[in-house]
Structure 1
């Protein structure tokens, strides 16, 4: 074999080896890429469906804002609310009303639901609330203390004793040894506040958050006894939630730093 042939065959062999090495490198790179893809965390499943939230009336403004934020973050979801007195909502849930989440204004009303084994997990406190006197704008009756609510001719409204704001009011009144006969007992805190907004009453014992939400329609009057009648607000995923994954995500939003900021801005105390 002459030298030219040998050189040609050597070059062909070198080329074949180079091609083989390139193929091996490509396979290795592909395998590494696949391994990286396999080891990366899987994407969170897309949330969908309508989440029904039963929430205490005092949560209306803050939860409505959080519901809008949730729908924006999770296209394809819808959050609907039923705002009312916590005791009425608890009764509806134990009576079979379809709902995904329950947010109550007191542990006592939440216990109505957990006692019937209607919660999927243990409730968690996400906020607290404190009472305040809602007086007419400008406070023409010069209400500065709880005792001032007993002035002759003063029309005062309270929440019913069975709902959390009413139970808290009774606790504050007893602590201050004030006996008060209201012109009416309302079934939820918004109804009590509405009486003052419509000037059908001179004052009402409501939550600080409701005074905050009312703006200049009422004038808030703080009183020291309210510190001894603070309500914890628990939230729970319900046992037969039709859209449990989305419902749990909404609860996580409520408890998140973003959710807590919305609640704090509305006047709620941190849990």
Structure 2
């Protein structure tokens, strides 16, 4: 059927109008952004600013867990992530790039290693002390009463490995007592030593007085005078790579402040 000029004009005009609507719609889609959707970078900064990761010696698990809860309560919206292990293992993790904001060691040697590597922000603060004791099961079937008893034939004793602070302290005690131990195993953390005793795999283990207190009636502690020759001092510091230095320093302030000292004292740590 032939198309008149009027009909042709109407068809062309309609097509142009339709194309204009589509183009406008596309432009609106391109230029519009959700009103309430924040950018990824803004979200990331907010998440980083409300979290702090603390690497701490295994012997600090009980008090630091309590301090972390108090810190979160005092700073609503803040999350404290805790990682407990032997101090030397934590140093290894940090030097390999683990994202720690705070490090608390069971001795100065491991902290000095991080400081020498340029990984510490500022000067570490000493905040507590700890000493060794002999942990035995509540029944104490081996009838252990002194450090010298640990060297008797047939006694299954467990200690920390030499590179761990509790292991270094054990070596000092051996020298002071003039006694050489023959442990059935050397563990990577004081918590592992205690575990061997509570499980019955060992007759005795050299742990900190704080570990015996935390274990409750599962074990009993036997003090010995040579322990005074190996008092461990605990330092704490913020990491130079921390993206949350304000929170890291705030956590350290709580640990070293009156509230932290109370919690640490209740756990059996010596004050500084």
* TM-score in same-fold range (> 0.5): yes
2:250 aligned with 1:249: yes
Find the counterpart in structure 1 of residue 97 from structure 2: 96
Deviation at 1:256, TM superposition (A): 0.6
Cα distance, 1:94 vs. partner? 1.5
* 3-state SS, counterpart of residue 123 of structure 1: strand
Report if the CA contact (8 A) 1:48-1:74 is conserved: no
**What is the root-mean-square deviation in Å for CA atoms of aligned residues?**
1.0
Q: Which residue of 2 aligns with 1:186?
A: 187
Name the residue aligned to 2:106.
105
* CA shift digits 1:180-216 (9 cap, x unpaired): 1000000000000000010110000000000110011
Matched pairs, number: 225
Q: Which residue of 2 aligns with 1:19?
A: none
The SS at the match of 1:61 is helix
C-alpha deviation, 1:48, in angstroms: 4.5
Contact 1:100–1:244 (8 Å) recurs in 2: yes
**Aligned: 1:172 with 2:177:** no
TM-score (norm 2): 0.81
Find the residue that maps to 1:241 and give its secondary structure.
coil
Are the counterparts in 2 of residues 136 and 202 from structure 1 also a CA contact under 8 Å? yes
Aligned position for 2:162: 161
8 Å Cα contact 1:135/1:204 also seen in 2 = yes
On the 8 A contact 1:48/1:76 being kept in 2, the answer is no
Equivalent position of 1:234 in the other structure: 235
Unaligned runs of at least 5 residues, structure 1: 1-46
1:37-56 aligned within 5 A: 48-56=49-57
Are the aligned partners of 1:54 and 1:89 in contact in 2 as well (CA < 8 Å)?
Answer: yes
TM-score by length of 1: 0.82
Structure 2 gaps, min length 5: 1-47
Where in structure 1 do 4 or more consecutive aligned residues deviate above 3 Å?
Answer: none
For residues 124 and 251 of structure 1, the distance between their equivalents in structure 2, rounded to whole angstroms, comes to 9
The CA deviation string for residues 30-81 of structure 1, in whole angstroms up to 9 with x for no partner, is: xxxxxxxxxxxxxxxxx95111000000000000000000001100100011
Q: Which residue of 1 aligns with 2:26?
A: none
Give the match's secondary structure for 1:65. helix
Report the counterpart of residue 263 of structure 2 in structure 1.
262
